[in-house]
Chain A
Amino acid sequence: MNFYNLLISSLRSLGKNKFRTFLTMLGIIIGVASVIVMQSIGKGVETSIKSDISSIGTNLIMVTPEAAEKNGVQQSAGSEQTLKIKDVEMIKNYCASVKYISPMIMSSSQIKYSSNNCRSSVMGVAAEYLQIRNIDVTIGAPFTNEDIEKSAKVCLIGKTVKNNLFKNDEDPIGKSIRIGTIPFTIIGILKEKGQSGFGQDQDDIVIAPYTSVQNRISGNDYLQQIFISAQSENEVDKAVQEISYCMRLSHKLKVGDVDDFSISTQSEIMQTMESVTGTLTAFLASIAAISLLVGGIGIMNIMFVSVTERTKEIGIRLAIGATSFDVLMQFLIEAIVLTLLAGILGLAFGFGLSQLISFLMNIEAVITVSSVVLSFSVCSFIGIFFGWYPARKAAKLNPIDALRYE
């Protein structure tokens, strides 16, 4: 039989058994789609976390207090109260590689405006914080150093806080809200940032001068963190050394004493996160591998059964004058057409589903070539092999044995 006739026979045969064809394809479609979806979610979460981390700036350095041994007694984590404003002054005055510096204290407070209220994070920082973190004020203006000196009761609010407290058409600028019991005047609205890769709403925030937060809300002079921006990316390492030196000096640590603070940089955070997302990706990849395996076994089963079921048809074809080669080619073409068609449908389905999930979960779907190639080739291989192998067995039989097959 020439190739054209073979192709026609194969397509006819697929068309005549739509349900069988559909069932066989289903296994492949699911196998391919699930791998693509799993992989795209994993990759998507990873890239979104990475871009969040990069967005905090490559120059960024953070100083946090550390539970240090004091007189041999381990202090509990989180209770450290070692960072003070004098550390900030020290770094500002003596570290040449530092461009911007801002203390940070954070508290969660009840915010009220007329009858509306919500609970949000209130962040006390210096004016430079906005430069360090690349935060823009879209409406109004940021607070000034003067506001800080005077512990001015002014604040900037994020989009979520605005939406929670104000009606759509109401202009919040100049309005007075209560943080706890203290009235603060809104002087600006922050540019929308959306969700972070960790699922945090970055717009649910109130930013105020750190002096105001210390004096009027938290009532103590401890800092939770110091945010620093190095002069340039190349000077980060040098800045870290200078900061470490200043901090030890400021805390009067002797040679041999352990640091009671820790300094981290963006690249370190990136490394930590990479190991976390790596685990996530590996986890999703193993789920994908399992679904590929299950899908593969499904394809194998249905192919094997449907070809074996057609042994009698093979017998008829042999009796009529088909050679084993003719029969094999027909089944091979059928398997290839079926598998490729299903593979393409699976890809389309996988793409669609990842888009949907990325839309619902608010992450970017990243589809990699490797997942497409892997799932497609594994499913195709299984589909074609198990379409071919039982057909080969049947085609090698005596025609009469194939005809008599029950």
Chain B
Amino acid sequence: MKSKIPIIKIIDLWKTYITGEVSFHALKGINLEIYEGEYVAIMGTSGSGKSTLMNILGCLDKATKGKYIFKDIDTSTKTNTDLAKVRRHNFGFVFQSYNLISRTSAFENVELPLLYGSRYSKSKRAEVVLKALEEVGLSDKIQSKPNELSGGQQQRVAIARSLVNNPSIIFADEPTGNLDTRTSFEIMSILQKLNNLGSTIILVTHENDIADFTKRKVVFRDGKIISDIENQNQKSAVEELANLPVENEIN
């Protein structure tokens, strides 16, 4: 199934934080390859370096040492502006804390990557934005502001925003961290659908339940990878969602 050339290749990657006199190695020589179409869960205890790696992979942060090659781009040689362009054409981000721009409607939040990245006309933009919002099931909340949406709905807006520019990779750092089980499964079924349609997804989570929906589990401890295995029995989020007891039926 795997294509020959990895979309992400990291070689002996280190990240060292220096606070005052103390230096702390958050990543200690990571090697990892990820191929197009993969759905990878990055797991591990709190503080093990999951987010740190994710941010470097998403070019939101830079490694202290080592190589990160995205497609055929050696990111360590690129300027901030070049990296911004890499992000705008290739990456979509979903954060634990949603990170929507406040006082700005769902539509405008989702439109934002297109304003920076694309040369679409206004009507073409509207079309693409509406399609993305439809994909996450929010067609009826187009004009709602973040403070008028539930956490789950805000996360869907964030997912719509992450996929609107048709990225090669979606990075999701604990996207279900603030949500209840049902809503988490809803979000996971959206991500799973996107992966089935061909998106490469890298997901950070510390819950096995959530990681079960992915195809590969990479486990971290103390800034190192301790295991990297394919998930032989990937669960279907849609099915799991259907199996959840409906509140009305409990009584």
Q: Residues of A with Cβ closer than 8 Å to B? A: 1, 5, 9, 12, 16-17, 312-313, 315-326, 396, 398-401, 403
Contacts and interface: CB of A to CB of B under 8 A. Distances in A.
B32 interface: no
A325 B81 contact: yes
B104 A321 contact: no
Q: Which of A5, A12, A318, A400 has the most CB of B within 10 A?
A: A400
Nearest to B98: A316
Contact of B112 (A16, A315, A320, A403): A320
B158 to A, nearest CB: 10
A321 B84 contact: yes
B132 to A, nearest CB: 13
Contacts of B161: 320
Interface stretch (B65-73, B87-95, B188-196, B221-229): B87-95
Given A320-B112, A321-B87, A325-B81, A16 B61 contact: no
B99 A12 contact: no
A17 B60 contact: no
A323 B80 contact: yes
A316 B99 contact: yes
Interface size class, chain B: 20 to 34
Contacts of B58: 319
Chain A interface, DSSP helix/strand/loop, else mixed = helix
B11 interface: no
Contact of A321 (B55, B95, B103, B116): B116
Contacts of A326: 84, 116
A398 B62 CA distance: 8
Interface in B17-60: 55, 58-60
A322 to B, nearest CB: 5
11 contacts: A12-B108, A315-B99, A316-B99, A316-B100, A317-B116, A318-B60, A319-B58, A320-B112, A320-B116, A399-B61, A400-B60
Nearest to A16: B103
Interface in B74-122: 80-81, 84-85, 87-89, 91, 93, 95, 99-104, 108, 112-113, 115-117
Contact of B165 (A316, A321, A401): A321
Contacts of A403: 60, 95, 99
